[in-house]
Chain A
Amino acid sequence: MKIELKKFGTTLISRQNGREAFAAFQPQLTALGKNENLELDFDGVITFAPSWGDEFLSPLLKLYGSRLILINTNNLSVKATLELLEKINQESFKRAV
């Protein structure tokens, strides 16, 4: 399953919005197959900050681990935020090469 993060907005910055996005996203997750990967595509996201990311990505990392694949992570704010979230969670994200 591939999810385009830009559908949640191009400025992903606050805890509150991250929480709302995560809640809105839950029904879609029920369609994810047992062994299916969950791909999150950052294409089109302009600003990505840790508050939003911690509310949205951290729970997904805990739930899916290496089945969570991040795509198009070259934006500098995406890169920096992912690095911090990895420190907080003490776990690495899998990035598509």
Chain B
Amino acid sequence: MCYYSIVMTEKEIITISEAAEILGVSIDTLRRWDKSGKLKPVKTSGAGYRLYSQSQIELFLNDLLSTANDWVHKNTEIPSELYCANSAVFQTRLSRMQDVLSESKELNLIFPLIVAVAGEIGNNSFDHNLGNWPDTPGIFFGYDTHKRYIILADRGLGILATLKRVKPELDSDQKALEVAFTEILSGRAPESRGNGLKFVRKIVAENSIGLVFRTGDAKLILTKDSDVLDIRQSSDPFRGCLALITF
């Protein structure tokens, strides 16, 4: 805290309403976050107003994985810029990410694959939970092009529950995750079922892209050249899905 007060210029100091605007939350939410310790102001003005620093807000936004985890586990409030209530919003933001990634010379050839992988995972959430969202519909979609990762998460039914509709014999999250990433399901009844996760597996296996995918109590780790699926049991299960894509 002292460090901040010494090095921070007045230009970096922002008011609670400016911080709320950047984060896409209400001022009341920021007051709650202060009380709970989730995000505390760097100082208080003489008149008692909460003041934040620009860099602190940027850092907070960058802590995407813990924000996504908190949302999936506890349904905590998330900044509106990380939340896509429907697939149209997701499509718009994915196109924006595509524009950003296309500017990287290093990713010149593979950026369409990264966007396609994120697109398949995000749309899977919408396609398989439509009309069945247990509480909060929509997905978490955040990325950091400098740190090179993308996070997608949903509070949906999870892979096991949605796959059981076409394969009732499935009885565990691990098995469901394996089927989702390996078996080509060409029969379309009783629902229009994508083969998007098989595509994701192929892309990750052939390129310098990594994936951690969690659903229920199962966790899949995929890397380049991974022929065998590494599926583990996770110690802190949750409903829905969470994907971390690194590149």
Does A14 contact B87, Cβ atoms closer than 8 Å? yes
User: Is A92 at the interface (CB under 8 A from chain B)?
Assistant: no
Least Cβ–Cβ distance between A6 and chain B, in angstroms: 13
Nearest B residue to A48 via CB reads: B116
Q: Is the interface of A mostly helix, strand, loop or mixed?
A: helix
Q: Which of A13, A46, A89 contacts B91 (CB 8 A)?
A: A13
Q: Is the interface of B mostly helix, strand, loop or mixed?
A: helix
For A, the interface residue count at a CB cutoff of 8 angstroms equals 26
Contact residues of A between 58 and 93, Cβ < 8 Å to B: 75-78, 80-81, 83-84, 87-90
For B, the interface residue count at a CB cutoff of 8 angstroms equals 28
Which residues from chain B contact A14 at a C-beta distance below 8 Å?
Answer: 87, 91, 119, 123, 126-127
In angstroms, Cα B206 to Cα A47, docked, is 17
Which residues from chain A contact B198 at a C-beta distance below 8 Å?
Answer: 84
Does B186 contact A46, Cβ atoms closer than 8 Å? no
Contact residues of B between 102 and 160, Cβ < 8 Å to A: 102, 109-110, 112-113, 115-116, 119-120, 123, 126-127
Q: Given contacts A84-B202, A87-B184, is CB(A11)–CB(B91) below 8 Å?
A: yes
**Which A residues form the contact surface with B (CB < 8 A)?**
10-11, 13-17, 46-51, 54, 75-78, 80-81, 83-84, 87-90
